[in-house]
Amino acid sequence: MTDRVIDVKDAAVLDSIIQPPSPLPVSLAGPLSAPRLTHLQRLEAESIHILREVVAETQNPVMLYSIGKDSAVMLHLAMKAFYPAKPPFPLLHVDTTWKFREMIAFRDQRAVDLGLDLLVYTNPEGLARGIGPFTHGSAIHTQVMKTEALKQALDRYGFDAAFGGARRDEEKSRAKERIFSFRNEQHRWDPKNQRPELWQLYNARKNKGESIRVFPLSNWTELDIWEYIYLENIPIVPLYFAAERPVVERDGALIMVDDDRLPMKPGETPQMRRVRFRTLGCYPLTGAIDSDADSLPAIIREMLLARTSERQGRVIDRDGGASMEQKKQEGYF
Amino acid sequence: MAPDTPLPETPEPGVSEIERYLAAQQSKSLLRFITCGSVDDGKSTLIGRLLYDSKMLFEDQLATLEADSRKVGTQGGDLDFALLVDGLSAEREQGITIDVAYRFFNTDRRKFIVADTPGHEQYTRNMVTGASTADLAIILIDARKGVLPQTRRHSFLVSLLGIRKIVLAVNKMDLMGYDQAVFDRVVAEYRAFARQLDLTDIQAIPLSALKGDNVTTLTDAMPWYQGPTLIGHLETVEVADLRASQPFRLPVQWVNRPNLDFRGYAGTIAAGTVRPGDRIRVLPSGQESRVARIVTHDGDLPLAVAGQSVTLTLTDEIDISRGDILSTLDEAAEAADQMEATLVWMSEAPLLPGRPYILKLGTKSVPATVATLKHKINVNTLEQLATKTLGLNEVGLATLSLDQAIAFDVYRNNRDTGGFILIDRLTNETVAAGLIRSAIVRTVPWQVLDVDRRARSQMKGQRPRVLWFTGLSGAGKSTIANLVEKKLHAHGRHTMLLDGDNVRHGLNRDLGFTDADRVENIRRVAEVSKLMVDAGLIVLVSFISPYRAERRMARELLGPGEFLEVFVDTPLAVAEGRDVKGLYAKARAGKIPNFTGIDSPYEPPESPDVRIDTQAMTAEQAANHIFTLLSRFDEDADLVDGAAI
Ligand SMILES: Nc1nc2c(ncn2[C@@H]2O[C@H](COP(=O)(O)OP(=O)(O)OP(=O)(O)O)[C@@H](O)[C@H]2O)c(=O)[nH]1
Ligand SMILES: [Mg+2]
Residue that wins the pLDDT comparison between B8 and B180:
B180
Probe target for ligand 1 pocket from B34, B40, B173, with the most ligand atoms within 8 Å of CB = B40
Residue that wins the pLDDT comparison between B517 and A61:
A61
* CA-to-CA separations, A281 to A65, A209, A261, A314, B379, in angstroms, rounded: 12, 29, 16, 8, 51
**pLDDT at A136 > cutoff 90:** no
Q: Are B563 and B466 in contact (CB under 8 A)?
A: yes
Q: 3-class DSSP state for residue B172?
A: coil
Does the beta carbon of B307 lie under 8 angstroms from any beta carbon of chain A? yes
Identify whether A25 is part of a domain.
Answer: no
Q: Clarify whether residues A199 and A85 are in a common domain.
A: yes
Q: Is the CB of B94 under 6 A from ligand 1?
A: no
**DSSP string computed for B293-308:** EEE-TT---S-EETT-
Q: Are B330 and B261 in contact (CB under 8 A)?
A: no
Nearest to B297 among A45, A80, A194 (CB): A80
3-state secondary structure B522-570: HHHHHHHHHHHHHCCCEEEEECCCCCHHHHHHHHHHCCCCCEEEEEEEC
Nearest to A176 among B101, B308, B346 (CB): B101
Q: CA-to-CA distance for A67 and B474, rounded, in angstroms?
A: 63
Nearest to A84 among B88, B262, B360 (CB): B262
**Backbone CA torsion sign across B138, B142, B143, B147:** negative
Would B243-328 and B336-444 be classified into the same CATH topology?
Answer: yes
Does the beta carbon of A169 lie under 8 angstroms from any beta carbon of chain B? yes
Q: Are B307 and A45 in contact (CB under 8 A)?
A: yes
Span A241-252, mean pLDDT? 89
Query: So what's the pLDDT on residue B235?
Result: 93
pLDDT digits (tens, 9 = 90+) for B72-115: 777 777 778 888 778 778 887 787 888 888 999 888 888 899 99
Residues of B whose CB is below 8 A from A18? 17-18, 20-21, 24
Q: CA-to-CA distance for B605 and B554, rounded, in angstroms?
A: 13
Query: So what's the pLDDT on residue B6?
Result: 39
- Domain spanning B243-328: which CATH class is it, in words? mainly beta
Annotated binding site of B: 37-44, 116-120, 171-174, 471-478
Active site residues of B: 545
**DSSP string computed for B584-623:** HHHHHTTSSSS-BTTTB-----SS-SEEEETTTS-HHHHH
Per domain, the residue ranges of chain B are 27-236, 243-328, 336-444, 453-641
**pLDDT at A74 > cutoff 90:** yes
Q: What is the identity of the amino acid at B515?
A: D
- Choose one of A192, A222, A252: the last residue of a domain: A222
Q: Is the CB of B118 under 6 A from ligand 1?
A: yes
Span A13-40, mean pLDDT? 46
Q: Clarify whether residues A172 and A281 are in a common domain.
A: no
**DSSP string computed for B13-35:** TT--HHHHHHHHHHHSEEEEEEE
> Which residues make beta-bridge pairs with B358?
B367, B423
Q: Are B85 and B44 in contact (CB under 8 A)?
A: yes
- Choose one of A222, A244, A271: the last residue of a domain: A222
pLDDT digits (tens, 9 = 90+) for B224-254: 999 999 999 999 998 877 788 889 999 999 9
- Tally of CB atoms within 10 A around B593: 12
In percent, the amount of chain A with pLDDT more than 90 equals 44
Q: Clarify whether residues A163 and A189 are in a common domain.
A: yes
- Tally of CB atoms within 10 A around B55: 15
pTM for this one?
A: 0.76
Domain of residue A218, residue span: 39-222
Q: Place A313 in a pLDDT band, splitting at 50, 70 and 90.
A: low
Identify whether A304 is part of a domain.
Answer: yes
Best mean pLDDT range from A127-141, A291-305, B151-165, B455-469: B151-165
In percent, the amount of chain A with pLDDT more than 70 equals 82
Residues of B whose CB is below 8 A from A29? 4, 6-7, 9
Identify whether A239 is part of a domain.
Answer: yes
pLDDT digits (tens, 9 = 90+) for B16-64: 777 778 888 888 888 999 999 898 899 889 998 988 887 777 777 788 8
Question: With an 8 Å Cβ cutoff, are A56 and B8 in contact?
Answer: no
In ligand 1, the atom with minimum distance to the C-alpha of B117 is: 23
Q: What is the identity of the amino acid at A269?
A: T
Q: Is the CB of B49 under 6 A from ligand 1?
A: no
Query: How does DSSP classify residue B75?
Result: S
Q: Is the CB of B44 under 6 A from ligand 1?
A: yes
Identify whether A74 is part of a domain.
Answer: yes
Q: CA-to-CA distance for A171 and A60, rounded, in angstroms?
A: 29
Cβ partners under 8 Å of residue B242, min gap 6: none
Identify whether A299 is part of a domain.
Answer: yes
CATH of domain B27-236: 3.40.50.300
> Which residues make beta-bridge pairs with B375?
B397
Q: Is the CB of B130 under 6 A from ligand 1?
A: no
If we measure between CA atoms, which residue out of B189, B93, B101, B109 comes closest to residue B148?
A: B189
Q: Are B149 and B380 in contact (CB under 8 A)?
A: yes
CA dihedral B83, B89, B95, B101 (to 10 degrees): -60
Q: Are B332 and B281 in contact (CB under 8 A)?
A: yes
Identify whether A28 is part of a domain.
Answer: no
Question: With an 8 Å Cβ cutoff, are A28 and B59 in contact?
Answer: no
pLDDT digits (tens, 9 = 90+) for A263-297: 888 888 889 999 999 888 888 888 889 998 888 98
- Choose one of A165, A190, A222: the last residue of a domain: A222
Q: Clarify whether residues A159 and A210 are in a common domain.
A: yes
Question: With an 8 Å Cβ cutoff, are B129 and A198 in contact?
Answer: yes
Q: Clarify whether residues A121 and A256 are in a common domain.
A: no
Q: Clarify whether residues A51 and A198 are in a common domain.
A: yes
Q: Are B357 and B423 in contact (CB under 8 A)?
A: yes
Identify whether A200 is part of a domain.
Answer: yes
CA of A56 to the centre of ligand 2 (A): 36
CATH of domain B336-444: 2.40.30.10
Q: Are B285 and B319 in contact (CB under 8 A)?
A: yes
Does the beta carbon of B80 lie under 8 angstroms from any beta carbon of chain A? no
Q: CA-to-CA distance for B613 and B476, rounded, in angstroms?
A: 10
Closest Cα to atom 11, ligand 1: which residue?
B40
Q: Clarify whether residues A80 and A182 are in a common domain.
A: yes
Q: Clarify whether residues A48 and A134 are in a common domain.
A: yes
The total number of structural domains in chain A stands at: 2
Q: Place B4 in a pLDDT band, splitting at 50, 70 and 90.
A: very low
What is the pairing mode between strands A118-121 and A161-163? Answer: unpaired
Looking at residue A193, which CATH number applies to its domain? 3.40.50.620
Strand order in the sheet with B288-295: B249-251, B325-328, B279-283, B288-295, B309-314, B264-268, B254-256
Q: Clarify whether residues A103 and A203 are in a common domain.
A: yes
CA of B43 to the centre of ligand 1 (A): 6
Q: Clarify whether residues A105 and A133 are in a common domain.
A: yes
Q: Clarify whether residues A247 and A164 are in a common domain.
A: no
Q: Clarify whether residues A138 and A161 are in a common domain.
A: yes
Ligand that lies nearest to the alpha carbon of residue B78, given by its number in the listed order: 1
CA of B80 to the centre of ligand 1 (A): 9
Annotated binding site of B for ATP: 471-478
CATH of domain B453-641: 3.40.50.300
If we measure between CA atoms, which residue out of A130, A287, A79 comes closest to residue B311?
A: A79
Question: With an 8 Å Cβ cutoff, are B416 and A200 in contact?
Answer: yes
Nearest CA in chain A to B23: A26
Identify whether A290 is part of a domain.
Answer: yes
Is residue A216 classed exposed, middle or buried when 0-12, 13-18 and 19+ CB atoms within 10 A define those classes? buried
Cβ partners under 8 Å of residue B440, min gap 6: B336, B338, B339, B340, B399
How high is the ipTM of this complex?
A: 0.83
pLDDT digits (tens, 9 = 90+) for B124-165: 889 999 999 999 999 999 999 999 999 999 999 999 999 999
Question: With an 8 Å Cβ cutoff, are B17 and A192 in contact?
Answer: no
